[in-house]
Amino acid sequence: MSNNVLVVAEAQDGALKKIGFELIGEGKRIADKMGGLVEAVVLGHDVADILGPLGHHGAEKVYVADDPVLANYTAEGYGSVLARLIKETEPTLVLIGATTQGKDLAPRLAARLAVGLASDCTGFEVQDGEFYITRPIYAGKAIATVTQATRPYMATVRPNIFAPPEPDTSHDAAVENIPADIGDIRANVVDMMKEAGERIELTEARIIVSGGRGLKAPENFTLIEELAEVLGAAVGASRAAVDAGWKEHSYQVGQTGKVVTPTLYIACGISGAIQHLAGMKTSKYIVAVNKDPDAPIFKVADYGIVGDLFKVVPVLIEEFKKMKAEG
Amino acid sequence: MNIVICVKQVPDTETKIKVKDGQVDHTETKYVVNPYDEYALEEGLRIKERLEEGKLTLMTIGPERAKDALKSGLAVGADEAIHLVDEAFEGSDPYSTALILSKALEKIDYDIVCCGKQGVDEDHAQVGIILAELLDVPHVSVVTKLEIAEDRKSIVAHREVEGGHEVVEATLPAIITAQKGLNEPRYASIKGIMAVKKKVIPEWNAEEIGVDKDMAGLGAAKMKFTEVTLPPERVGGNVFDDDPVQDAVKVAHLLRDEAKVL
């Protein structure tokens, strides 16, 4: 077994997702402690031109399986190719982003290799050749440290936890092509319904503006969207807003929605139920706007404004616009 | 069509989690059916209703109290329930849990197995997918819409992905894991609850399903917990309660100048 760390770098719409670079950074830190290297693998079609940044962010080698049969992700297909690579290269640790794809792929791949898998991890420690991996449980109400009895160690990693390293364009990774042996595929993507417009992915966003029941009506979400636009932020919603049909489930932040770790989370008209906090309480900064001074959200907000959001949010929008113009 | 639903109990999500001696302390825990498993069960019931035929079997691994999860499933219309119970199963990690389920499933006929996407206790989100690999069948995870093909040989499932929705076609038999939004779970009727009293729930142990000591329980775990701690308490900062307009301006500037996030 080598002391190398293998990062499965995911591509979407012809570009590498940011999580890949976050994992290379953390992977390199771990590999350095183990006396190994960090390597990356990319699966897809027509991906030759997007591999450069992997080396720039620190990968020593990039394995690539570039084939039309890999154009669309399938758990069985990607799992087969990766299982073979892992058996051949014997990394000590495999890191996969805890994206929709990663969370779908990793358990199947781990089962194929008959190894343990730590899901949605937020920290890695190395001690005497063992990994001690931290991950939230009970929707973040507790933190577990886990180890694995099998090799390689495998983990899906929460996005937005590790900062990607500064790229060094003078550092290139060696590229090795690997075969696209996908085996039998019995579950295939037959259609993809893309959302209209560009929407910043909540789990990757630096700033999020969320709306809740306090908005009173679905059309008032335009206030949230305007504020988000000024800040270049993603738009989120509480469970109440989603259950009321004001926003689709993909906007929901919380225990039965998405867990987010932005630098700034602005909650408007959201009371702060435990299940909502479970989705956003590890944000670096939290701002809360609510007219109820007893709303639980104020207990976790760094900056709270007790007031009518219909008065407060327009002022925030104006103020941020002014600040942007000032430069 | 043989539909199997895997369910389990989890602590009520309102529960304050207590940690003692590096482990979660469950002495005062109130258990409920895992919310995602309820979507799986409801979908099974709807498949049966839409096809106007089929048998729905529930399966759970757990101590005696796990029968409550089975009973509530029977009360809403499941036909049968199987309780997988054995001391040897306790402390199983996701892989072992899936292995136990796969061994039990080998003993019955199944066309589709529906699981919740994750247990809201340990949040692994692995069992349903590992189960598919062990049974060598396809899976579709985080399903938000499900249709069975006319010929009953395949399914079409929708799933939420970054930037939109994917439509996936998979051959049967298959495993699906349920995401919130798949359906609205129904409540049991009084009639349904009363009918459960007459139902017999068979118990299958490790030996009966062919699970050896080295396949389940704490000792067989590929992924083990070494410690559980409570996260640092998040302390609130400044709450402004003077004038909404002035407070908004103040906070905007604090975000730029103090927090430096803009």
pLDDT digits (tens, 9 = 90+) for A234-278: 999 999 999 999 999 999 999 989 999 999 999 999 999 999 999
Position A276, amino acid:
H
Give the pLDDT score at B224: 95
Q: Model pTM?
A: 0.94
- Residues of chain B neighbouring A269 (CB-CB closer than 8 A): none
Distance from CA of B105 to the nearest CA of A (A): 17
Q: Quick check: A138 and B123 CB within 8 A?
A: yes
At a CB cut-off of 8 Å and minimum separation 6, what does A140 contact?
A259, A278, A281, A282, B231
156-185 of B, contacting A, C-beta below 8 A: 156, 159-171, 174, 179-181
Mean pLDDT to the nearest integer, A153-178: 97
Domain membership of residue B244 (yes or no) is no
Closest-CA residue to B124 (of A290, A62, A155): A155
**Which residue among B139, B225, B240 places its CB closest to the CB of A144?**
B225
Domain membership of residue A183 (yes or no) is no
Evaluate the omega torsion of the peptide bond into residue B173 and state whether it is cis, within 30 degrees of 0: yes
Say whether both A32 and A171 belong to one domain. Answer: yes
**Domain count of chain A?**
2
Domain membership of residue A184 (yes or no) is no
Domain membership of residue A145 (yes or no) is yes
Position A173, amino acid:
A
Give the pLDDT score at B233: 87
Pairs of CB atoms within 8 A across A/B: 265
Of A125, A143, A177, which residue sits at a domain end? A177
Q: Which H or E run includes A285?
A: strand A285-290
Of all residues in chain B, the one with the smallest CA distance to A79 is: B133
Say whether both A161 and A255 belong to one domain. Answer: no
R_g (Cα) of chain B, nearest Å: 22
% of chain A residues with pLDDT over 90: 94
Mean pLDDT to the nearest integer, B62-79: 97
Domain membership of residue B232 (yes or no) is no
Give the pLDDT score at A196: 79
Q: Are A309 and A214 in contact (CB under 8 A)?
A: yes
Domain membership of residue A18 (yes or no) is yes
* Interchain contact B94–A (C-beta under 8 A): yes
Say whether both A61 and A146 belong to one domain. Answer: yes
Give the pLDDT score at A222: 97
Say whether both A38 and A165 belong to one domain. Answer: yes
Say whether both A153 and A226 belong to one domain. Answer: no
Name which of B12, B23, B32, B180 to mutate to probe chain A: the one with the most chain A Cβ atoms within 10 A of its Cβ. Answer: B180
**Domain count of chain B?**
1
Domain membership of residue A85 (yes or no) is yes
Of all residues in chain A, the one with the smallest CA distance to B157 is: A189
**Which residue among A186, A305, A315 places its CB closest to the CB of B240?**
A305
Pairing, β A303-306 against β B80-84: unpaired
At a CB cut-off of 8 Å and minimum separation 6, what does A69 contact?
A45, A77, A180, A182
Of all residues in chain B, the one with the smallest CA distance to A121 is: B124
Say whether both A173 and A226 belong to one domain. Answer: no
Evaluate the omega torsion of the peptide bond into residue B11 and state whether it is cis, within 30 degrees of 0: no
The strands making up A130-137's β-sheet, listed across from edge to edge, are A123-127, A130-137, A142-148, B223-229
Domain with A156, as residue range(s), is: 5-177
Q: Are A31 and A91 in contact (CB under 8 A)?
A: no
The least confident of B12-26, B69-83, B143-157 is B12-26
- Residues of chain B neighbouring A256 (CB-CB closer than 8 A): 35-36, 120, 180
Q: What is the DSSP track for A166-189?
A: PP-TT---EEEE---------EEE
Name which of A125, A256, A258, A268 to mutate to probe chain B: the one with the most chain B Cβ atoms within 10 A of its Cβ. Answer: A256
Domain membership of residue B227 (yes or no) is no
> What's the CA gap between A318 and B252, in Å, rounded?
10
> What's the CA gap between A121 and A156, in Å, rounded?
6
Looking up tokens 């103040």, which residue turns up? Answer: B250
Of A115, A144, A177, which residue sits at a domain end? A177
Domain membership of residue A81 (yes or no) is yes
Measured over the CA atoms of residue A39, residue A44, residue A45 and residue A47, the dihedral's sign is negative
Burial classification of residue A252, based on how many CB atoms lie within 10 Å of its CB (0-12 exposed, 13-18 middle, 19 or more buried): buried
Tokens of A28: 């390199």
Say whether both A172 and A318 belong to one domain. Answer: no
Give the pLDDT score at B202: 98
Name which of B9, B12, B13 to mutate to probe chain A: the one with the most chain A Cβ atoms within 10 A of its Cβ. Answer: B13
> What's the CA gap between A145 and A134, in Å, rounded?
4
Q: Quick check: B168 and A189 CB within 8 A?
A: yes
- Residue B10 sits in a domain whose CATH number is 3.40.50.620
- Residues of chain A neighbouring B17 (CB-CB closer than 8 A): 138, 141-142
CA trace torsion B210, B214, B217, B222 (10° rounding): -120
B15 has pLDDT over 90: no
Domain membership of residue B225 (yes or no) is no
> What's the CA gap between A11 and A245, in Å, rounded?
32
The least confident of A186-195, B1-10, B170-179 is A186-195
> What's the CA gap between A231 and A234, in Å, rounded?
9
Closest-CA residue to B89 (of B224, B219, B223): B219
Domain with B199, as residue range(s), is: 2-220
Give the residues across from A25 on adjacent strands. none
Say whether both A68 and A155 belong to one domain. Answer: yes
- Residues of chain B neighbouring A136 (CB-CB closer than 8 A): 123, 231
- Residue A36 sits in a domain whose CATH number is 3.40.50.620
Confidence class of residue A13 from pLDDT cuts 50, 70 and 90? confident
A327 has pLDDT over 80: no
Q: Quick check: B170 and A186 CB within 8 A?
A: yes
A154 has pLDDT over 80: yes
Give the pLDDT score at A301: 97
- Residues of chain A neighbouring B11 (CB-CB closer than 8 A): 138
Tokens of A237: 């919603």
Q: Quick check: B171 and A187 CB within 8 A?
A: yes
Say whether both A70 and A207 belong to one domain. Answer: no
Q: Quick check: A107 and B130 CB within 8 A?
A: yes
Say whether both A68 and A101 belong to one domain. Answer: yes
A179 has pLDDT over 80: yes
Pairing, β A142-148 against β B223-229: antiparallel
Domain membership of residue A71 (yes or no) is yes
- Residues of chain B neighbouring A13 (CB-CB closer than 8 A): 163
Looking up tokens 């699981």, which residue turns up? Answer: B115
Q: Quick check: A274 and B13 CB within 8 A?
A: yes
Q: Are A266 and A211 in contact (CB under 8 A)?
A: no
Domain membership of residue B249 (yes or no) is no
Q: HEC string of B19-78?
A: EECCEEECCCCCEEECHHHHHHHHHHHHHHHHHCCCEEEEEEECCHHHHHHHHHHHHCCC
Say whether both A250 and A149 belong to one domain. Answer: no
Domain membership of residue A243 (yes or no) is yes
Q: What is the DSSP letter of A48?
A: G
Q: Quick check: B252 and A319 CB within 8 A?
A: yes
